[in-house]
Amino acid sequence: MNGIQTKDGLLILDGHKLAWHTDRVKAWEAGERIAPVSIDLALTRACQASCRMCFAQVQEPQERANVTVDHAYRFLEDCAEIGVRATSLVSDGESTLSPAYVPYILRAAELGIDVGNATNGWIFTPETLEQILPHLKWVRFTVLAGTPDAFTKMMYHDPSAKQVFWRAAFNISEAVRIKRKRKLGVTLGIQTFITPDDRDEILAFAKFGIDLGVDYAVIKHTSDDEGGRLRVDYTRYSEITEALKAAEAMSTEDTKVIIKWSKIRDGNIFPYKRVYGCPFLLQISGSGLVAPTGMFFNARHSKFHLGNFTEDRLIDVWRSDRYWEVMNYLASPRFDAQRHMGTLPIQHYANVALDRHVKGIEKIEPGGEPRPLHHNFV
């Protein structure tokens, strides 16, 4: 697993952390119905941004539901009961827009469930940041670009885009200030999703992260669905290798520039056919839809839909025969990820590791101490 040593500890973004959850790996191997180590979800499908290559575009159509504070509380209580160790507010919506956002974070902290959040950060106030940052393990701000002009092109097509860019930059700087002032353990980063056509934006993005003083700036591939509807040409990522290496070399003691080399290398060619990672890392839409992975949120994949936590208790969905029938089907010879699933799902690192584990190529052994940062986010 690939990790970067930061001043706060080992940060693993380009790899998995199953080595610190071998109890679940052993139980899964024994045929037990394990609880997810972590769940990725959103509290809404709404989002103010218009990111050029947003994967949520290909997750439509699907039914909508409003995630209320009560829904969020019941969800977290079920997570605690079955043994979920972490939840990340990412998935397919901007969770800060939900009335349940702050209550969710505070309740999770009371229940001992780790929480991370990916957000555009546009509507934060200093008061909100003061309230939530002590209870978050990480916040990853999606800014896509390091300059206002590029931001207008890549993330927000609106006359107010430059104003929004500087508002986001201010909020990120405020988060950094609060972390340092209060000596908080939360890890702060910025992220972008690039295509091979974005070569000229790479170094500016890295510099932006360094200027903001965040702990890291991560540069990622762009995912696509199984039909290639976003038209990502993975064969051309080699054209920007040198620019990515130059950005990586800009890392400082305070800010690490991280490239997700593994996913960029794998592109749209999976080294596995069976999908073993979903029982360990479940994904839930901001509509409340529970599915093994966000690759299946779209209604055309309804045969993989497991329930909706705004209608059913998560614990009942997890205990249902349907949940395990779908999980077992994805891990069987009847399913071929190389043909039937979009590129690089959130479980990709876990899928690779578990596939190699099952085949006896490389067993998942218990991880050592100290544990990496955010070890409960597999």
Q: Once rounded to an integer, what is the mean pLDDT over residues 356-368?
A: 97
CA distance 102 to 96: 8
Of 54-63, 149-158, 360-369, give the range with the top mean pLDDT. 360-369
pLDDT score of 54: 67
pLDDT of 56 over the 80 cut? no
Average confidence (pLDDT) over 345-350 = 92
Is residue 59's pLDDT more than 60? Answer: no
Tokens of 358: 């099952």
Burial of 3: CB neighbours in 10 Å, binned 0-12, 13-18, 19+: middle
Question: What mean pLDDT, rounded, does the chain reach?
Answer: 92
Does residue 289 register a pLDDT over 80?
yes
Q: What is the 3-state secondary structure (H, E, C) of the chain?
A: CEEEEECCEEEEEECCCHHHCHHHHHHHHCCCCCCCCEEEECCCCCCCCCCCCCHHHHHCCCCCCCCCHHHHHHHHHHHHHHCCCEEEECCCCCHHHCCCHHHHHHHHHHHCCEEEEEECCCCCCHHHHHHHHHHCCEEEEECCCCCHHHHHHHCCCCCCHHHHHHHHHHHHHHHHHHHHHHCCCCEEEEEEECCHHHHHHHHHHHHHHHHHCCCEEEEECCCCCCCCCCCCCHHHHHHHHHHHHHHHCCCCCCCEEEECHHHHHHCCCCCCCCCCCCCCEEEECCCCEEECCHHHCCHHHHHHCCEECCCCCHHHHHHCHHHHHHHHHHCCCCCCHHHHCCCCCCCHHHHHHHHHHHCCCCCCCCCCCCCCCCCCCC
Whole-angstrom distance, CA of residue 15 vs CA of residue 347: 10
pLDDT at 225: 56
Q: Per mean pLDDT, which range of 33-47, 84-98, 104-118, 337-351 is the poorest?
A: 337-351
- Which pLDDT belongs to residue 57? 58
Gap between the Cα atoms of 51 and 153, Å rounded: 9
pLDDT band at 302 (very low <50, low <70, confident <90, very high): very high
Give the pLDDT score at 198: 87
Spatial distance between the Cα atoms of 36 and 164, rounded to a whole number of angstroms: 36
Residue 345: pLDDT over 90: no
Give me the mean pLDDT over the 116-132 stretch. Answer: 98
Tracing tokens 């990586």 back to the chain, one arrives at: 248
* Cα gap 378→374, rounded to integer Å: 8
Read off the pLDDT of residues 214-264 as tens digits, 9 standing for 90 and up: 999 999 887 665 566 666 777 788 889 999 999 999 999 999 999 998 877
- Looking at the chain, the whole-number percentage of residues with pLDDT higher than 90 is 77
- CB distance 235 to 224 below 8 Å: no
Name the residue ranges covered by the structural domains of the chain: 2-358
Question: Of 25, 16, 72, 82, whose CA–CA distance to 44 is shortest?
Answer: 72
Backbone angles phi, psi at 257, to 5 degrees: -95, 120
Q: Give the residue from 271, 275, 276 showing the smallest Cα distance to 340.
A: 275
How many C-beta atoms lie closer than 10 Å to residue 10's C-beta? 15
* Torsions phi, psi for 259 (to 5 deg): -110, 130
Asked if pLDDT for residue 187 goes beyond 90, the answer is yes
Check whether domain 2-358 has CATH 3.20.20.70, yes or no: yes
Better-scored residue on pLDDT, 39 or 62: 39
Give the per-residue pLDDT at 194.
Answer: 84
- pLDDT at position 60: 58
For the cut 80, the answer to whether the pLDDT of residue 61 exceeds it is no
